[in-house]
Amino acid sequence: MKKAVLMCTCSFACPSMKDIDFGELSERIRMELPKDYMLLHPRLCEEDAEQMLEDLLKEGVYYVTPACKEEKQKKLLRDGFERAGVQMNSNWKPVSISFKTTDQAFEDIKTALEEV
């Protein structure tokens, strides 16, 4: 199964993400972790992201989404997955990077990719 990292940067403004250097984090993911592709978006929960997810998501890919709290992600990303016709329960792993440092976020993303 292919693996994809779809990271929400929360517009680089969310106080809960203030200790994450998204440039460093994305480069470490790109260089060090096994995945087929990675995408960064400023707000995966907004309408333009839902349209992107509708075009991008497909069965046979496992999506890891580093973003806000996992419960919140489920509500906020549900419509994008539904529009794409992809089941969240078998193709998706949310990773909360809220209130984490760059290193902590990296380790949580690494663990999620290893679990696939």
Each residue's pLDDT tens digit, 11-21? 888 999 999 99
Instruction: Give residue 110's pLDDT band: very low, low, confident or very high (50, 70, 90).
Output: very high
Strand order in the sheet with 61-67: 37-41, 2-8, 61-67, 92-96
* Bigger pLDDT: 30 vs 12: 30
Instruction: Give residue 116's pLDDT band: very low, low, confident or very high (50, 70, 90).
Output: confident
Instruction: Give residue 111's pLDDT band: very low, low, confident or very high (50, 70, 90).
Output: very high
Mean per-residue pLDDT, 58-73: 95
Mean per-residue pLDDT, 70-77: 93
Return d(Cα 64, Cα 8) in angstroms, integer: 11
Q: List the domain range (segments joined by +) for residue 51.
A: 7-114
Answer whether residue 45 shows pLDDT above 90: no
Tell me whether residue 76 is in a domain: yes
Tell me whether residue 1 is in a domain: no
Return d(Cα 98, Cα 19) in angstroms, integer: 9
- Between CA 103 and CA 43, with CA 77 as vertex, the angle to 5 degrees is 60
Return d(Cα 11, Cα 44) in angstroms, integer: 10
Tell me whether residue 83 is in a domain: yes
Q: What's the CA dihedral at 80, 47, 2, 99 to 10 degrees?
A: -100
Number of domains in the chain: 1
Percent of the chain with pLDDT over 90: 84
